[in-house]
Amino acid sequence: MALKMVKGSIDRMFDKNLQDLVRGIRNHKEDEVSDRRIKQELKQDNIAVKANAVCKLTYLQMLGYDISWAAFNIIEVMSASKFTFKRIGYLAASQCFHEGTDVIMLTTNQIRKDLSSPNQYDTGVALTGLSCFVTPDLARDLANDIMTLMSHTKPYIRKKAVLIMYKVFLKYPESLRPAFPRLKEKLEDPDPGVQSAAVNVICELARRNPKNYLSLAPLFFKLMTSSTNNWVLIKIIKLFGALTPLEPRLGKKLIEPLTNLIHRYGGRCCFFHSRLVKCLLGGSLSLFPDARCLCVQKLRILIEDSDQNLKYLGLLAMSKILKTHPKSVQSHKDLILQCLDDKDESIRLRALDLLYGMVSKKNLMEIVKKLMIHVDKAEGTTYRDELLTKIIDICSQSNYQYITNFEWYISILVELTRLEGTRHGHLIAAQMLDVAIRVKAIRKFAVSQMAMLLDNAHLIASNTQRNGICEVLYAAAWICGEFSEHLEEANQTLEAMLRPKVTTLPGHIQAVYVQNMVKLYASILQQKEQAGEKEAAQEITQLMIERLPQFVQSADLEVQERASCILQLIKYIQKLQVKEVPVAEEVIALFAGELNPVAPKAQKKVPVPEGLDLDAWINEPPSDSESEDEKPKTIFHDEEQRHSKPRHPEMDEEELARRREARKQEQANNPFYIKSSPSPQKRYQDTPGVEHIPVVQIDLSVPLKVPGMPMSDQYVKLEEERRHKQKLEKDKKKKKQKKEKRGKHHRHNSLHTESEEDIAPAHHVDIITEEMPENALPSDEDDKDPNDPYKALDIDLDKPLADSEKLPVQRHRNAEALKTPDSEAPPVEKKTLMVHIFCCVLCLLVRSQSYNGDFCLLSEFRRKTWISGNLQNDSQVTVSVIFENKSTSFLKSMELNVLDSLNTKMLRPEGSSVHDGIPVPFQLPPGISNEAQFVFTLQSIVMAQKLKGTLSFIVKNDEGSTHEKLDFKLHFSCASYLITTPCYSDAFAKLLESGDLHMSSIKVDGISISFQHLLAKICFHHHFSVVERVDSCASMYSRSIQGHHVCLLVKKGENSVSIDGKCSDPTLLSNLLDEMKETLSKC
Amino acid sequence: MRFVLLFSRQGKLRLQQWYRAGAERDKRKAARELMQAVLARKPKMCSFLEWGELKVVYKRYASLYFCCAIEGADNELLTLELIHRYVELLDKYFGSVCELDIIFNFEKAYFILDEFVMGGEIQDTSKKSVLKAIEQADLLQEEDESPRSVLEEMGLA
């Protein structure tokens, strides 16, 4: 036996430690072996071995092993009493715990225990760990404990507690208001570390929601002028950067201290300098134009610097200025274009960002041309994609404001389709659609280009990945179909769309193909019929019937459905054609009317008409009493019948017109229908005002059919020529209109430079704005991201705290239910109450007794209470006892027996007498510990209870086995029957006023610890919670498992403490106070 | 700051601390992508890298890359300074630190980082107080360990 044990220990000694593991891995030894070994080590009960194993796991995790399976072991190591192991446990937890870790809720009590540990490093390590894996639940449960730590005596703890509060706020925003006053106090903490931590937290908070922190400005102003810590200064300046836009007066105040700072640190501290510049730009810049010029000049120096970091930061800062003062940056265009050639991608991306704000009508083409060159040169798809999106961004910004020639833009888009491997196909497609729909004048040109794309689809379609370039075919097909009247070689395009290769495209694109080939077909049909070419018309029908089946067979449901529908339609048309009936008019009527661009937010902005209550019932909800078998009224009966009839496509013109009229009527009366604006294509639209929309025919100076792919350069040249011509004309006129010109110039110089103003768009282009519903509500809420985690922290901090805004104090799941003990809960609630209370497991006290040093009985009392029905005066308590065998012998057949008292009885299995012990369900090898639970029933809880008990067991060793006995006492203190229950001050006051409570008081002298500590002690040892604290006076509350209310008023004098108690039971109160006295006298 | 990574030139992760807990898979993917991106950069390039909505500030010391991911509004140079400060701390603690120190005592490297940065914010700007805290914690650890003689360890005492 002993030999075995020694062998085990030696094994352990020679266990691979971490160093060996690392060495092994570095020497490429079999990883699997160590993995299995660690699992074995984790199973052992020696905490040192376990900690070692967890440490190894942490290392392995870094190498990419998933160690989430060991989460429970990590918690075990976290709860080790020795700092060495605790440290490792928390490190591992910080590495691998996250919100999805299911055992994380088990840590709450352990963390709380560590937070109140007398050893500051225990607390520290717990705080650090928690900062990495805090979840909303943990934040809620521990907020109060952490808040208490913010006033800890040791700055080391205060500092950490302040920092972790930020994480707590993020996870549990309700804690911000109650905790904020204390956080504010910490700004003036004597310890610089704590102070800087508080500045850090408040700056982070204020950066997201600056307006709530304006009232702190004077305090920060003071800090800024007094602090010598650079790190803190930078944070404060950053904070002011966020505050100044909200309070312009701040800017003026800041000038002086900032200049001082610049002088103090000026050249020495470069990063400080750049930060400063950035902050200035952030807000107060508009106040001093001199500073702005200076800044931009300085930035230019930074950008020209050979140090890449400075160059980057210079560009970054410049982009900040650009937002507010685009003009002062525009003069540095040369420099920024130069940066585009930089080897460093970060710098190029920054420069690109700047370009966005620098374009004007004049230089757009030039800039985009440069970018196109870069696109061709760029290696790496990320950068190329970035360039692509930038080009599109630049061109489309503020409703295509800077584009003077849309033909050029379309050809740029078409050129971009040649990019290989881009993931922004949908972006290009969206632009094509947008331009074609909104710029009417360009449609003819756009259609010709799109037809060409369709013709060359094989070049594009090879890349069928998601969002790949093939997306442009979607746009191309739609444009060609929708605006088919502009198509010159419609036949050819239709052929291209019917190629078998099309079936390899993604489903949604094929669907658009199918739909739009019918549009094309319709317009060809009309064309042929008008020209009297019946043969040709029939030929085209035949072509459709031949080719469509390939789509009918498609695996994509949408494609299949559309194709089979259309195939039937065309077969029918063919029948009519054979009978020589003219069909074109009817077919084209399928697609009559024009689609208008609708703004993306239009639907949201439809105002609710007056008198409409969206929450009101339209029909009264059916009452439950209504019998189910009642026949439903057949309102829809007739209609249903009509729907079930097979639909025939032979709706004649008249029928169609009638229906359309009816629908229009319906729409006119329907408040939700977004009415379309009148457009010339509408055949049934007879409202005036259509003609005044100027649609100017494009005078195309380039042949429409450019062989191969189009070249945007041609347009650049043409545009230049055009501008030159225009300028010459203008010059002539200028002489005549000199005076007028000057006046005009004065009026406009704030917006455009003179030369820019002169450039007129190539064609008078009418950009249709996206439609919004009538009386759309203006709202700025659209821009806010609902998922922004910081939005929840947008809380007014100046409002006084309400009573209800308390942090939950050592909450149990049943806190809610216990708050209103007297109210009659409805039956449904009772059920949930039961469930809640079952979850409530609470550590009571730890008591140990040793016997001859041979083994030790550690009993940890855990109490579980449940209240069901009227079990108010009977409670059950679960005591868990940890047995640890410290001897070298093997222990078995353990039995635990307790001498029952009248009041407290051990719960034994049915049929056994009071003298029978309860067998412990396990055996104990040497050095092993295990836990068993025993249930006791209690009658009264007003007095402390001591129960005598015996543990009998058989000791087995080499010499044989002996029967042994161990006596022990179980001590149930009165405090152990209390459950920490939060109480609100109004409820507390009501309770005191009620007059049902008995009173008693004690006084303890010679107390030296701080009041804060004292309260913490009472809370911890006696399960009270603080209701209210004023200076050195506090009211506290707790509640017993049988529903006694206990209220305390604790007052601290010079060296003494007096406690006045009120309780519904006088005996309980006096016993409690006695226990409290004992605790306090130890202080 | 969102996270700190330390990795070698060969792309081996040496230390990782995430200040926003997330699923293991996401972290690993992010670390891998980031390492690739940083290692692909040439020595003379700037220390900043835009990476999704985050910004990565990195610096190479000998064969190790120190890498911090910050949010857009954070100060880049301050982060560089922070990295440098951390390296100085390691250097002081280990006495001229090398990659092997960090490999074999990775938990110490973590502890130092935790004393210096907590939850993504700088905890203490003074080198002295960070080192003091670490030393005292180590002392506590030694106290824990010292009374355990070999015999005790074997359960014979």
The residue of A84, A86, A119, A382 whose CB has the most chain B CBs within 10 angstroms, and thus the best one to mutate to test that interface, is: A84
In the block, tokens 């768009």 appear at A761
Write down the pLDDT at residue A2: 46
Q: How far is A385 from chain B (nearest CA, A)?
A: 13
Per-residue pLDDT tens digits for A328-382: 777 777 888 888 877 787 888 888 888 877 787 888 888 888 888 888 877 777 7
Give chain B positions within 8 Å (CB) of A5: 155
Write down the pLDDT at residue B66: 93
Two tokens, residue A920: 């412990």
Give chain B positions within 8 Å (CB) of A84: 141, 144-145
ipTM comes to: 0.91
**Are A1045 and A1069 within one domain?**
yes
CB contact under 8 Å between A83 and B156, yes or no, is no
Considering only CB atoms, B144 lies closest to which of A6, A18, A82, namely A82
Q: How far is B66 from chain A (nearest CA, A)?
A: 15
Please give the sequence-ordered ranges of beta strands (E in DSSP) within A587-666, or none if there are none.
Answer: none
Q: Is the alpha carbon torsion for A522, A526, A528, A532 positive or negative?
A: positive
Two tokens, residue A255: 């000038």
**Are A433 and A557 within one domain?**
yes
**Residue B49: which CATH number?**
3.30.450.60
Considering only CB atoms, B141 lies closest to which of A83, A131, A201, namely A83
Are A285 and A255 within 8 A, CB to CB? no
Q: How far is A66 from chain B (nearest CA, A)?
A: 7
Considering only CB atoms, A197 lies closest to which of B17, B114, B123, namely B123
The residue of A312, A349, A352, A386 whose CB has the most chain B CBs within 10 angstroms, and thus the best one to mutate to test that interface, is: A312
DSSP secondary structure letter of residue B8? E
Q: How many CA atoms lie within 13 A of A386 on its CB side?
A: 22
Q: Establish if A80 belongs to a structural domain.
A: no
Considering only CB atoms, B119 lies closest to which of A96, A164, A274, namely A164
Give chain B positions within 8 Å (CB) of A163: 118-119, 121, 123
The CA distance from A344 to A837, in Å, is 62
Nearest CA in chain B to A80: B144
Q: Establish if A281 belongs to a structural domain.
A: no
Task: For residue A134, give every residue at least 6 positions away whose Cβ sits within 8 Å of its Cβ, in sequence order, or none.
Answer: A164, A167, A168, A171, B21
**Are A961 and A987 within one domain?**
no
Q: How confident is the model at residue B69 (pLDDT cuts 50, 70, 90)?
A: very high
The CA distance from B94 to B108, in Å, is 9
Nearest CA in chain A to B52: A382
**Neighbour tally for B151: CB within 10 Å:** 10
Say yes or no: A36 contacts chain B, CB-CB below 8 A.
Answer: no
pLDDT at B100 over 70: yes
CB contact under 8 Å between A83 and B144, yes or no, is yes
**Are A1035 and A888 within one domain?**
no
The residue of A156, A191, A232, A856 whose CB has the most chain B CBs within 10 angstroms, and thus the best one to mutate to test that interface, is: A156
DSSP secondary structure letter of residue A812? -
Task: For residue A78, give every residue at least 6 positions away whose Cβ sits within 8 Å of its Cβ, in sequence order, or none.
Answer: A86, A89, A90, A93, A107, A110, A129
Considering only CB atoms, B45 lies closest to which of A100, A124, A343, namely A343
Residue (of A934, A939, A930) closest to A919 by Cα position: A934
CB contact under 8 Å between A121 and B155, yes or no, is no
Say yes or no: A66 contacts chain B, CB-CB below 8 A.
Answer: yes
Per-residue pLDDT tens digits for B121-135: 888 878 888 888 888
Q: How far is B92 from chain A (nearest CA, A)?
A: 20
Q: What is the mean pLDDT of chain B?
A: 84
Domain span at residue B66 reads 3-154
**Neighbour tally for B25: CB within 10 Å:** 9
Q: Establish if A113 belongs to a structural domain.
A: no
**Are A413 and A541 within one domain?**
yes
Task: For residue A872, give every residue at least 6 positions away whose Cβ sits within 8 Å of its Cβ, in sequence order, or none.
Answer: A1042, A1043
The CA distance from B55 to B71, in Å, is 6
Nearest CA in chain A to B79: A271
Helix (H) or strand (E) holding A425: helix A425-438
Task: For residue A261, give every residue at least 6 positions away whose Cβ sits within 8 Å of its Cβ, in sequence order, or none.
Answer: A233, A237, A276
The CA distance from A471 to A373, in Å, is 23
Tell me, rounded to whole angstroms, the distance of Cα A190 from its chain centroid: 37
CB contact under 8 Å between B118 and A164, yes or no, is yes
Domain final position from A972, A987, A1016: A972
**Are A433 and A568 within one domain?**
yes
**Are A893 and A1029 within one domain?**
no
The CA distance from A1047 to A1036, in Å, is 6
Residue (of A230, A236, A234, A164) closest to A194 by Cα position: A164
**Are A948 and A1075 within one domain?**
no
A residues 91-150 closer than 8 Å to B (CB): 91, 94-100, 119, 121, 124-125, 127-128, 131-135
Q: Establish if A559 belongs to a structural domain.
A: yes
Mean per-residue pLDDT pooled into runs of 10, chain A (1083 residues): 46 55 61 65 80 84 82 87 88 86 84 88 90 88 89 89 91 88 88 88 84 85 81 80 76 72 54 50 44 64 76 79 72 80 81 81 83 79 81 83 84 82 82 86 87 80 65 88 84 86 85 89 88 85 89 88 91 88 84 77 77 79 56 44 44 66 63 46 41 43 40 68 71 57 44 44 56 56 54 70 63 38 36 27 27 35 34 58 73 80 78 77 76 76 79 79 77 76 79 80 82 83 83 85 84 85 86 85 74
Considering only CB atoms, A163 lies closest to which of B13, B121, B125, namely B121
The residue of A200, A265, A353, A390 whose CB has the most chain B CBs within 10 angstroms, and thus the best one to mutate to test that interface, is: A200
Domain final position from A906, A939, A972: A972
**Are A986 and A891 within one domain?**
no
Considering only CB atoms, B145 lies closest to which of A22, A55, A84, namely A84
**Neighbour tally for A619: CB within 10 Å:** 5
The residue of A133, A309, A889 whose CB has the most chain B CBs within 10 angstroms, and thus the best one to mutate to test that interface, is: A309
Q: CA distances (Å), A366 to each of A386, A464, A538, A764, B128, in order?
A: 19, 33, 50, 21, 56
CB contact under 8 Å between B77 and A313, yes or no, is yes
DSSP string covering A355-407:
HHHH--TTTHHHHHHHHHHHHHH--SHHHHHHHHHHHHHHHHHHHHTT-S-HH
Domain span at residue A1036 reads 977-1081
**Are A889 and A985 within one domain?**
no
**Are A410 and A540 within one domain?**
yes
Give chain B positions within 8 Å (CB) of A97: 21
Considering only CB atoms, A59 lies closest to which of B24, B50, B106, namely B106
Are A482 and A595 within 8 A, CB to CB? yes
Beta bridge partners, A42, equal none
The CA distance from A354 to A666, in Å, is 51
Tell me, rounded to whole angstroms, the distance of Cα A496 from its chain centroid: 46
Nearest CA in chain A to B75: A275
Domain final position from A946, A972, A998: A972
Q: Establish if A455 belongs to a structural domain.
A: yes
CB contact under 8 Å between B49 and A346, yes or no, is yes
Q: Establish if A613 belongs to a structural domain.
A: no
Write down the pLDDT at residue A564: 92
Nearest CA in chain A to B47: A309
State how many domains chain A has. Answer: 3
**Are A584 and A478 within one domain?**
yes
Two tokens, residue A290: 């001199």
Are A718 and A700 within 8 A, CB to CB? no
Span between the terminal Cα atoms of chain A, in Å: 47
Considering only CB atoms, A22 lies closest to which of B41, B104, B125, namely B104
CB contact under 8 Å between A234 and B78, yes or no, is yes
Q: Phi and psi dihedrals of A954, rounded to 5?
A: -110, 125
The CA distance from A423 to A385, in Å, is 7
CB contact under 8 Å between A347 and B46, yes or no, is yes
Write down the pLDDT at residue A490: 84
CB contact under 8 Å between A309 and B47, yes or no, is yes
Q: How far is B73 from chain A (nearest CA, A)?
A: 9
CB contact under 8 Å between A132 and B103, yes or no, is no
State how many domains chain B has. Answer: 1
**Residue A987: which CATH number?**
3.30.310.10
The CA distance from A973 to A984, in Å, is 26
Helix (H) or strand (E) holding A160: helix A155-171
The residue of A316, A345, A349, A924 whose CB has the most chain B CBs within 10 angstroms, and thus the best one to mutate to test that interface, is: A345
Two tokens, residue A1022: 């006696």
Considering only CB atoms, B21 lies closest to which of A132, A316, A926, namely A132
Give chain B positions within 8 Å (CB) of A889: none
| More confident: A904 or B28 | B28
| Largest separation between any pair of C-alpha atoms in chain B | 62
